[in-house]
Amino acid sequence: MVKFSGTKDEKGFSWEKDHRNLARYVAAEGMVLMKNTGLLPLSGGEKVALFGGGALHPYKGGTGSGDVNSRATVSIYDGLLEEDVKLVNTKWILEYKDLYEKRRQAWREEIWKAVDDGERPGDEFALYTDHMWHMPMGRDVKEEDIEGIDTAIYVISRKSGESEDRTDAKGDYELSEWEIRNLNFLCDHVENVVVLLNVGGPINVTRFMLEEHVKGILNISQPGMEAGHAVADVLTGRVTPSGKLTATWGTSYEKYPEAMEFSHISKNLEEEVYKEDIYMGYKYFDSFDVMSAYGFGFGLSYTEFMIDVKEVTTDLMHVHVTCDVFNVGNKYAGKEVVQVYVSMPQELCKKEYRRLVGFAKTGLLKPGEKQEVTISFSAKDMASFHEKGDCFILEAGDYGLWVGESLENASLHKLIEVETQVLLEHTSSICKGREEIQTLDPGDKPYGKEQRYLEIAGKANLERIIFAPRPGLYASEEKKEVNPVYEAAKEKAKEIVAGLTREELAKVLCGQPGGRAENVGVAGIHVPGAAGETTGELAHKGIPLAVMADGPAGLRIQTRYEANETTGQVYPLGFLENIEGGELIRSEKRPDCQYYYQYSTAIPIGTCLAQTFDLELLKEVGKMIGEEMRSFGVHFWLAPGMNLQRNPLCGRNFEYFSEDPVVSGLTAAALTQGVQSVPGCTVTLKHFACNNSEENRMGVDCKLTVRNLRENYLRGFEIAIKKGKPLAIMTSYNHVNGFHSAASYDLCTRVLREDFGFEGMIMTDWGTTFFPGKSTPPVDPWRCAAAGNDLIMPGIPADQEGILKGMEEGFLSEDRARECAQRIVAVVLYLTEAQNQE
């Protein structure tokens, strides 16, 4: 009997309601209150008018592989109505609804006409449809729209997505003329204005952040399918906001380091030189005294908290900071995030002034309640990488310990004294660039700030804590946990692979080819709409097939497909019909077929998840994703996306967590632990490494110092690997210091396997060897395998031929090919056997 993915019941699975409730909860937890002069939460008696395109059609997430074809998205308009907010004068909203629907229909017709006329094949054209759509401007707000209201809520929405970077122009990073005109009108005529930011990353908010009539600014992010409900929860006080920013919001785009050298703005898409070096994000703003609009870790609440540092202790490798957190407000319960930063001595090498080393979030505290939290961090979190010796060193000297609810409001509490310089860890020598990079010179700025904090510490007679970590202990700090089931799978894989021919090896090292393999985003067959599969051609050899679905805002699969239950034939939608939640479907159901439904939950974007700073909650979210994977028969979630938000215009920042590697690593580890708590499910950390721009992601060469690479861009992956124990990692399209990341032995083998101890399998991003429509010379498949990149995805016959050619001509040793195959087979056996167990 053929087993079909999904369910014949259009109402979906029994878990849908519970999962939507969790998506709603985490969305509200990730929203950041950026301004409140006493207006919020709404009292319930206000007469409110709602404006902005995002009021009816908020962006639940970004476009591309990070999108999720969910059942529906709750509008902010509907969410407020359900909470009995008194929305009056809705004429503007109803007129906009009509305008939007007409424009959307015209957009559909334009796309299908272009396909029918042969302008592009449907599946190729689907890659560009997202960029053709722009949310329409409504008419200007008039006096009749605000008659009798107390409060105006204005929604600013921004789209971002894969393969295209944002711009610094009006209507993107800057406000559009339409938005400026209408916000000015509202501020001139309405006493209370609330701005909702439905955005995937920073925009310029300086025009209205200081406006006296703008009483509230709430960054709702791109909050998933339960957008409207979550917004209503926060605006009405059902949920007290507790989210914190994971990226710095500058006062203007030009204030970011190397802003004019980024991507299309520089007009040089061939290389991206990271001249800012280690001074990225808040590390730049803080070290160089550059004012921001809203700083890293910032976020307001409806109540107030006090943090009391009780105790700081050390052991052979860690510092432990214990605090009492008090809710000192008198009305609202709430949660607080305790953030710990360190300042570092500047003698041995220049460093950023302060660095996040850990954080903890309280539970819900009622007024007058307190909770004790402990934040622990390691010596490596305080150390710096030295390229000359390829090692991490903890410099001798006084380290300032800062504790607070944000970077800006953190207070200096202790001095941590390291009496003797400690060499913590030797690493592999990797990614040496062919040319020297002229990096940003901090001058004496960090040094001068260090002298000031030491002076303050001396005057305040702050306690000095001695920290004497043991040299060389860090490398063995993360004890290897032996998983006997996985070890057995590895032994079984070794036996199976030993009996494979070269032709069979080539099949294992490539994804499943077939009628849909070259449809880059939806190459899956057994779960329609899934991104791809491992080979199923060797089932007779004991190698089962495993399914992969995109993320990271939920599972990206088709909402429905057709199946002939008599013949077992599946009729999946085309790539074009598969996007936009099925809006582009125009085919009629075949008379001999049954619909199967695959509605999955669209959770908030990665940035919103990270803004919760709640690792236990994120484990729950990961478990939820794992449960949906198991329901559909998916083994690999192609997420979390954890590249750093180097520049606010990177089109894919919405998928990523933060500009900080500690936040990124701990967030990814929590999601990984949650997903992998469900038997037969794993994550795929991506994109390894330096995928920080989209315009020429297949060809751009990211040039940076090895120190910057080690301290920032690899550090989050290291944390996630050692704490989360994922079974898969995906490489990026770009080059790093002249070498394609997918074919970099330094990255795939020396860093991941030798330095980080990664024991799972590595795969390429989809189409690395042939991406359609790109003129960049492809990467030879054998080069990826030779580097230790095990699996070429999504899999086409040419990839298998390339692997065979590499072995025949001696570029790829058969032993290396078998090592790659063993890792693939071991992971696939481990996952499929677990899912097959009842």
Please tell me the distance from the alpha carbon of residue 418 to that of residue 501, in angstroms, as a whole number: 57
Note the pTM of the prediction, 2 decimals: 0.97
**Residue 3 neighbours by CB distance under 10 Å:** 7
The reported pLDDT for the residue numbered 517 is: 46
Instruction: Give all strands (DSSP E) within 725-792, no chain letters.
Output: 728-731, 735-736, 739-740, 761-763
Q: Do 605 and 162 form a contact (C-beta atoms < 8 A)?
A: no
Q: Which helix (H) or strand (E) holds 498?
A: helix 484-498
Report DSSP state, residue 4: P
pLDDT higher than threshold 70 for residue 228: yes
**For 147-199, what is the HEC assignment?**
CCCCEEEEEEECCCECCECCCCCECCCECCHHHHHHHHHHHHHCCEEEEEEEC
- Which residues in 676-698 are b (16+ Cβ under 10 Å) and which e? bebebbbbbbbbbbbbbbbbbbb
Q: What is the largest CA-CA distance in the chain?
A: 84
Q: What is the chain's alpha carbon radius of gyration, rounded to the nearest angstrom?
A: 26
pLDDT higher than threshold 80 for residue 641: yes
Q: Using the structure block, give the residue that is written with the tokens 């938005």.
A: 179
Q: Is the dihedral of CA 32, 35, 41, 44 positive or negative?
A: negative
Q: What size, in residues, is the chain?
A: 838
Q: Do 761 and 790 form a contact (C-beta atoms < 8 A)?
A: yes
- Token representation of residue 118: 């042969």
Please tell me the distance from the alpha carbon of residue 143 to that of residue 141, in angstroms, as a whole number: 7
The reported pLDDT for the residue numbered 434 is: 80
The reported pLDDT for the residue numbered 522 is: 74
Q: Do 271 and 703 form a contact (C-beta atoms < 8 A)?
A: yes
Please tell me the distance from the alpha carbon of residue 40 to that of residue 240, in angstroms, as a whole number: 10
Amino acid 536 reads: G
For the chain, give the percent of residues with pLDDT over 70. 95
The reported pLDDT for the residue numbered 398 is: 97
Q: Which helix (H) or strand (E) holds 98?
A: helix 91-116
Q: Do 201 and 38 form a contact (C-beta atoms < 8 A)?
A: no
**Span 321-331, pLDDT tens digits:** 999 999 999 99
Please tell me the distance from the alpha carbon of residue 624 to that of residue 478, in angstroms, as a whole number: 27
**Span 26-78, pLDDT tens digits:** 999 999 999 999 999 999 999 999 999 999 999 999 988 888 989 999 999 99
Amino acid 140 reads: D
Please tell me the distance from the alpha carbon of residue 163 to that of residue 823, in angstroms, as a whole number: 30
Please tell me the distance from the alpha carbon of residue 837 to that of residue 826, in angstroms, as a whole number: 17
Q: Which of 708, 621, 719 is closest to 666 using CA atoms?
A: 719
Q: Please, what is the end-to-end C-alpha distance for the chain in angstroms?
A: 18
**Span 396-447, pLDDT tens digits:** 999 999 999 999 999 999 999 999 999 999 999 999 988 889 999 999 999 9
The reported pLDDT for the residue numbered 582 is: 74
**Span 760-785, pLDDT tens digits:** 999 999 999 987 655 566 799 999 99
Q: Do 621 and 608 form a contact (C-beta atoms < 8 A)?
A: no
- Identify how many contiguous H helices and E strands the chain contains and give both numbers: 24, 33
pLDDT higher than threshold 60 for residue 94: yes
Q: Is the dihedral of CA 265, 270, 272, 273 positive or negative?
A: negative
**Span 132-167, pLDDT tens digits:** 678 899 999 999 999 999 999 999 999 999 989 999
- Token representation of residue 569: 């034939």
Q: Which of 559, 521, 528 is closest to 72 using CA atoms?
A: 559
Q: What are the residue ranges of helices labelled H in 499-614?
A: 502-508, 575-578, 606-611
**Span 335-353, pLDDT tens digits:** 999 999 999 999 999 999 9
What is the full DSSP assignment across 637-688? EE--B-----STT-TTGGGS--SSHHHHHHHHHHHHHHHTTSTT-EE-EEEE
pLDDT higher than threshold 60 for residue 451: yes
pLDDT higher than threshold 80 for residue 573: no
Per-chain mean pLDDT for the chain:
93
Please tell me the distance from the alpha carbon of residue 127 to that of residue 180, in angstroms, as a whole number: 32
The reported pLDDT for the residue numbered 64 is: 85
The answer for residues whose C-beta is within 8 angstroms of residue 364's C-beta and 6 or more apart is 333, 334, 335
pLDDT higher than threshold 90 for residue 480: no
**Span 271-283, pLDDT tens digits:** 999 999 999 999 9
Q: Which of left, alpha, beta for 372 (phi over 0: left; psi -120 to 50: alpha)?
A: beta
The reported pLDDT for the residue numbered 479 is: 59
Q: Do 270 and 701 form a contact (C-beta atoms < 8 A)?
A: yes
The reported pLDDT for the residue numbered 778 is: 77
Section 357-369 average pLDDT: 98
Q: Which of 5, 2, 91 is closest to 51 using CA atoms?
A: 91
**Span 494-540, pLDDT tens digits:** 999 999 999 999 999 999 986 444 455 678 889 998 999 999 999 99
Q: Is the peptide bond before 152 cis (omega within 30 degrees of 0)?
A: no
Q: Within a 13 Å sphere around the CA of 591, how many CA atoms are in the beta-carbon half?
A: 0
The reported pLDDT for the residue numbered 474 is: 65
Quote the Cα angle for 387-348-665, to 5°: 55
Q: How would residue 475 be classed by pLDDT, with cut points 50, 70 and 90?
A: low
The reported pLDDT for the residue numbered 2 is: 67
Q: Which of 342, 340, 335, 378 is closest to 359 using CA atoms?
A: 340
Q: Which of 252, 377, 390, 392 is closest to 319 using CA atoms?
A: 377
